[in-house]
Amino acid sequence: MDQANVDPEFPRYWMPLLWIAQTLKKYYKPQFAEQNRKMLQLTRVRMTMGDILCYDWIPIPLANTQTITFAVYSYLIVDGILQHYPLCT
């Protein structure tokens, strides 16, 4: 664990999971299916946390502002066109 060179700029959410995985591997006995299930579940948790980290790259306030701006502009453009060319006469 001490050899894991991690830049302090990046998140370290995975360090406890790495410790658990290394401990399970150290005492792993192939005949115990329970430990194998624990490793699979631990792997799933790590993958899920990686997915959450991927979503973190999108700043939600910026995406929200852009979506609302696009919706308002679209409404105004469609409304302006329909003012000049009404569908029902």
pTM of the model: 0.44
DSSP states of 8-63? TTS--TTHHHHHHHHHHHHT--TT-HHHHHHHHHHHHHHHHHHHHHHHTTS-HHHH
Mean pLDDT of 15-19: 79
Q: Which of 22-31, 32-41, 58-67, 71-80 has the highest average model confidence (pLDDT)? A: 71-80
